[in-house]
Structure 1
Amino acid sequence: MSLEKNIVANYVGQIYVTMVGIVMLPLYIKYMGVEAYGLIGFFTMLQACFVLLDMGLTPTIGRETARFRGGAMPALEYRQLYRALSSIFFAIAVVGGGGLFLLSEFIASNWLNVEALQIDEVRLAVEIMSASVAMRWMCGLYRGVITGSERLIWLSSFSVLVATLRFILVLPVMWYFGCTPFVFFVYQFLVALVEIIGLASKSCQLLPADRYLSGAIGWSFKPIRLVLKFALTIAFTSSVWVMVTQADKLVLSGILRLDEYGYFSLAVLVASGIMVISGPVSSAIMPRMARLHAEGKYDELTRVYRGSTQLVSIIAGSAAITLACCAEQLLFAWTGDLQLAAKVAPILRLYAVGNGFLAIAAFPYYLQYAKGDLRYHLIGNLGMVVVLVPCMVLAAIYFGGAGAGYVWLVSNGLFLLVWVAYVHYKLEPGLHVKWLSKDVLLIILPTMIFAGFLKMPNLELTTRLENFIYVVAVGVILVGGALFLSDVARGWLVSYFYRRRSVR
């Protein structure tokens, strides 16, 4: 499967999933209320926190699937590993979901600052969340198999279907049965059930058939020992990652009123689009780079790494700059609420720029993932959690969402400038200066300067349509300029038009 096709398929799917979720949010707020949307934001945070229970299993099955496809692992060993991991996933889903169910009374009564909603209604919603979160987390096992097999076009199509069910078709259901948290979360439970059945069925099709095995699969956890070091390293760094990215949300969910937490969740959700649009690149290159490393094609691995960095710098960088420059215009065009736009815009700017730094700083992790050695990723994330989490918690307590946003921006900027340079020096000496100057700064800095000129005219935009057109125009112009600055993007475009002319 072509890497370019996988990346395009990922982007089509992720853009749809992200946009449909964001576009529908004003309707949720309108019909359910801001406090109920705060409950949805809490649900989203819980799903992210469930990564703490992952223990490195999802990335491990993805990497081992890619290695099996590259011929570095026999079919029987792979099936034994898959069965062992499936058992662990199921056990953790039961324990994690059950624990959340038992804590539902405490969460509703003592943690969330509920004013308008009934406590019993919130408790019931949390109980339903527990089952939905457990099922959606277990989908990680099946997504790992599908991603590692590089069946990303199918996965993207299925994600579009699930997003349509989750974000769009929930509205007619709520209009018919009532716009209440109970109806919303029961429906999300049913969608999670459809999702896990679909992903499990596809992953089973991709497993090597029994007739190709050299012996019986059996029931043993011995295969896990071979990947235990890698899995535990992933587990620790994933746990640290969750602590780093969710500490502010967890703390603020217990400090802010549920309606104010809804506004904060709104800003973080929009800013998270930066990471979402960089996600398809990582999903496509991680199994490819792992396979190239297994095959000993190191020069090709480096080309994929640098070319993908430029692609993320173009798309995620331009998106972050656009959000930072046009935060209020975007929020007003989206919600039609000037007061909401004024409250959310400062937080959105901070998280957008911080996520832009983060999208690029994540690349050394992909390189370490391909090599199967996450030592420096482990050390870097440990340093982040020691410094960032206490600062994030204190900033959130004393300065609210804006304080957390400043800490997020500064910490990710320093991580990109300092730690990434050290990791490159250790893994690929001589790479960092070329990577940072040509693949990142040559694209990002001129785009930032150009965005400053675009903001200089004092335009008076009064309608939602005018604001929307302005944001889209700025985004398109910045992406176009960034494409021109990238030699890899120019090469792809020239090659594409050349092929088109040859066909004619």
Structure 2
Amino acid sequence: MRLARNMAVAMANSVVLVLINLIALPFYLRFLGMEAYGLIGFYATLQTVLQVLDVGLAPTLSREIAHGAETGQQRRSASLLRTLEVVYVAVAIVIAVFVLLTAPWIGDYWLQAKTLPTETVTQAVMLMGINLACRWPISLYHGGLIGAHRLAHSSATSIVINVCAAVTTIAVLAWGMRSIQVFFVVQAVFGLLQVIVLRVLVRRVLGERDAPYDFGDLKRVWHFSAWAGGVAIAGLLLSQFDKVVLSRIVSLESFAHYMLATLLVSGLQILTRPAFNTLYPKFSALIARGDTASLEYLYDSATKLFATALFALAFGVVFQTKPLVMLWLGNAKVAEDVAPVAAWLAIGSALNGVMYFPYSLQLAAGQPKLAFATAAGLLVVIIPAVLLLAMRFGILGGALGWALVNLLYVVAGTWLTGRKVMVFAGWSWLQRNVTVPALATFIPALIGAWICSMLAVGPWTALGTGSIAALIGIALGVAGSFAPSEFRRVVAMAFGRPTSAQ
């Protein structure tokens, strides 16, 4: 299997999705206004929060398909997919009904709209429910393609449909009806289309189209799925608690600023999601094969490369947010409000991104209980922290809470993974493979920001300086983490050429 190819197509998908959101945002603000964009941000939060209803079934399917390919049990995997399809359709109906029933209460009492009529907000929330139901099975089919090492299929579908959805939405808003209701209708249509295409692809890849439904087989995977679902619930609460709290206590306009900062930081997902989607099935396959030596080598070398690129990108956001927003939206006031929030969100997200490696290893080793215990412990910290900080500092407090809880996550999660899963994933991994890239990329970024501040340069020059600093940081990170011969060996492994570690 070519890890480089899978990572490349997954990264292409992430890059396109981030670019779509960044390019489309000015049009949405122009045609709909800041408060309407706040509703879009609330929809994104609601969509993420409701992923708790997945109860770990998508990652369970990924693991089962990856194991089935190694053990010759693809028919059982196909049967599990058919069974889970029924479950997902039922959950989609529940989601739609729940959101439709609660929409009046959300519009009247939860969201703090000032200019949008309450009726408009309520209708938008109702359409969110329809949209969520249409898109709900995407994660199931995406998980199936991940387990089958078919990221190219899933990524290509996502790219094409999301580009078409964005272009169609902008065109309808520009030349048709300019309303938030229209936005959600168009998004629902393309979401349903993506479900249909992904379903065809995953069933074609697995074959065994006559595989029977087997609800009894759910008992076999339920233990893993239940704990993975617990992890998902706790993880979603961790990542969305700040947004849920802020959507209630700040104005819809301020919440929109927070979601703007979140959108900027989502650029880090260019690396994090592809890394998880590529490495999780590979870790699962190596553990099923009992190849601990290759697992350790892949874990260490992939972390060093990933952490170097991730921290370089994150520190670029930390130090260059203000000029970026100025060039993006041309609004100095918005740039001033968003910059510090985005900086702290970027720090927290970079720390969270590094922990995808321990998390992937825990799931691949069949120990979701450990991941759940870690996430549950972090929840005890983040709930009071975000509440206090958000009430005291508003949207900046929400970002500070996110950064603090992820710092704790890095410390506690690394220690637990080294003690309970694999020794090589403990403190030595954090010191060698995370700390060195972080320092190597932080120093050039800091120097670049200091130069820009001293010379009072314009936004274009600031971004150029930040880009150069990031490239220098990447070079220093690679040089500090790999000997030349080892780096060539890692490149060979990524492109599928045999190495001694394999």
Relative to the length of structure 2, the TM-score reads: 0.93
Kept in 1, the 8 Å contact 2:301–2:490? The answer is no
**2:119 aligns to what?**
120
Query: Compared with structure 1, are the counterparts of its residues 75 and 433 closer, same or farther at alpha carbon in structure 2 (3 Å cutoff)?
Result: closer
SS at match of 1:169: helix
SS at match of 1:115: coil
1:434 corresponds to which of 428, 433, 445? 428
1:413 Cα deviation from its structure 2 partner: 0.9
Query: Compared with structure 1, are the counterparts of its residues 33 and 480 closer, same or farther at alpha carbon in structure 2 (3 Å cutoff)?
Result: farther
Kept in 1, the 8 Å contact 2:414–2:425? The answer is no
Alignment of 1:10-409 (within 5 A): 10-71=10-71, 74-210=73-209, 217=212, 219-409=213-403
- CA distance in 1: counterparts of 2:221 and 2:44, whole angstroms: 30
Give CA-to-partner distance per residue, 1:360-408, whole Å, 9 cap, x none. Answer: 1232111111111122211111101112122212322332111121121
SS at match of 2:434: helix
- CA distance in 2: counterparts of 1:6 and 1:104, whole angstroms: 40
Query: Compared with structure 1, are the counterparts of its residues 406 and 97 closer, same or farther at alpha carbon in structure 2 (3 Å cutoff)?
Result: same
Kept in 2, the 8 Å contact 1:388–1:411? The answer is yes
Query: Compared with structure 1, are the counterparts of its residues 489 and 251 closer, same or farther at alpha carbon in structure 2 (3 Å cutoff)?
Result: farther
SS at match of 2:71: coil
- CA distance in 2: counterparts of 1:488 and 1:188, whole angstroms: 48
1:459 aligns with 2:455: yes
Stretches of structure 1 that go unaligned for 5 or more consecutive residues are none
Query: Compared with structure 1, are the counterparts of its residues 489 and 340 closer, same or farther at alpha carbon in structure 2 (3 Å cutoff)?
Result: farther
- CA distance in 1: counterparts of 2:465 and 2:158, whole angstroms: 30
Kept in 1, the 8 Å contact 2:418–2:427? The answer is no
SS at match of 1:117: coil
- CA distance in 2: counterparts of 1:29 and 1:489, whole angstroms: 48
1:46 Cα deviation from its structure 2 partner: 1.0
SS at match of 2:114: coil
Kept in 1, the 8 Å contact 2:70–2:288? The answer is yes
SS at match of 2:136: helix
Amino acid at match of 2:391: I
SS at match of 1:420: helix
Kept in 1, the 8 Å contact 2:276–2:356? The answer is no
- CA distance in 2: counterparts of 1:164 and 1:477, whole angstroms: 33
Kept in 2, the 8 Å contact 1:307–1:488? The answer is no
Amino acid at match of 1:472: S
- CA distance in 2: counterparts of 1:315 and 1:253, whole angstroms: 32
Query: Compared with structure 1, are the counterparts of its residues 471 and 431 closer, same or farther at alpha carbon in structure 2 (3 Å cutoff)?
Result: closer
- CA distance in 1: counterparts of 2:27 and 2:468, whole angstroms: 25
Kept in 1, the 8 Å contact 2:414–2:430? The answer is no
2:470 corresponds to which of 475, 486, 490? 475
Kept in 2, the 8 Å contact 1:64–1:78? The answer is yes
Give CA-to-partner distance per residue, 1:291-332, whole Å, 9 cap, x none. Answer: 111111121112221122112201211111111111212211
* Bigger mean CA offset, 112-121 vs 482-491: 482-491
Kept in 1, the 8 Å contact 2:131–2:188? The answer is yes
- CA distance in 2: counterparts of 1:323 and 1:70, whole angstroms: 41
Identity, % of aligned positions: 26
Aligned residues: 493
* Bigger mean CA offset, 372-381 vs 428-437: 428-437
SS at match of 1:326: helix
Kept in 2, the 8 Å contact 1:318–1:482? The answer is no
Stretches of structure 2 that go unaligned for 5 or more consecutive residues are 496-502
Query: Compared with structure 1, are the counterparts of its residues 432 and 489 closer, same or farther at alpha carbon in structure 2 (3 Å cutoff)?
Result: farther
Query: Compared with structure 1, are the counterparts of its residues 149 and 167 closer, same or farther at alpha carbon in structure 2 (3 Å cutoff)?
Result: same
- CA distance in 2: counterparts of 1:186 and 1:433, whole angstroms: 49
Kept in 1, the 8 Å contact 2:112–2:250? The answer is yes
Query: Compared with structure 1, are the counterparts of its residues 477 and 446 closer, same or farther at alpha carbon in structure 2 (3 Å cutoff)?
Result: closer
* Bigger mean CA offset, 369-378 vs 427-436: 427-436
- CA distance in 2: counterparts of 1:414 and 1:489, whole angstroms: 34
Kept in 2, the 8 Å contact 1:320–1:353? The answer is yes
SS at match of 2:214: coil
- CA distance in 2: counterparts of 1:170 and 1:245, whole angstroms: 28
1:467 Cα deviation from its structure 2 partner: 4.3
